[in-house]
Structure 1
Amino acid sequence: LGVIEGGKEEMEAAARAAYEKGKGIYAMKPLGGGNLLREREKAFRYILAFPWAHSVAVGMQTPEEIEYNVALFSGRAISPQLAEAVDRSKKRQVHIAEWCEGCGLCARYCPQGALVLQGGRMKVIPEKCLLCGYCGGHCPQFCIKIY
């Protein structure tokens, strides 16, 4: 995520090129707008090891998320209890941004059939959605977030 018409390799190359030219690199949304929540620790470990980032912006909404992130960014172990508390700390759901063009590509990758075209944009059927995040990874406009 992050480079239009590109993937991870293109994003890394662009960040490296800017870094080597003396530009400050501020990594944002290391959890891919919520799409990487199920792989939170792996996503954070990736960005913490990313050699061309000067700083990382992480959104936090609960005391448990703050405690988790401080521990992780400080190199301390995350207890299973804290990880579970973060997972339970709030009910998450899929949100589709108003700029959705209704292309339907996300729906093709939803294994639960939880996305439908309605009024020119995609809508989520909450009862069917498992928050797997597969849809968000395929949205060409980055309209899909989980929070």
Structure 2
Amino acid sequence: MKPVKTKLITSDKKIKYTNHLGSFVSQAEAERYAVLLEMQAKGLISDLQRRVSFTLIEAVKVYKYERVVLKTKTKTRKKKVTAESPVTFEANFTYRNKHGKLRVEVVRTDKEYKDPTYIIKRKLMRYLHNIVIIENKLTLMRNI
């Protein structure tokens, strides 16, 4: 299995809900975090993290040649620049269950789950990292 490249990210989405646990994009995300914290306190899960980014496709870097005019001669320098930015998947929560398996959860609306970009990223997570994403819908979370 390939190693999973992850990093903690700061959310670029607008913060809409804040409570004693932190700042969240939605109230449903905050409620799910509270449930996961309780599960971690009971020992059902471990290594709980929020806002984790997984790299699906690395950035494409190319060499760019630039000419530098010095006092006595012209010199060509080779510089590595990013031609294409990386493709990443941002998960709301990651944790390990009692068997040690990595679990990745997202809390989104029905509209976001039907977005073609999300569908492709979900499939890439399964194909590249062998991680099945647990989807929690905002409407369902409020009824629980």
Normalising TM by the smaller chain, what interval? under 0.3
The structure with more helix, counted as a fraction of residues: 1
**TM-score, reference length from structure 1:** 0.21
Task: Give the greater-gyration-radius structure (CA).
Answer: 2
**TM-score, reference length from structure 2:** 0.21
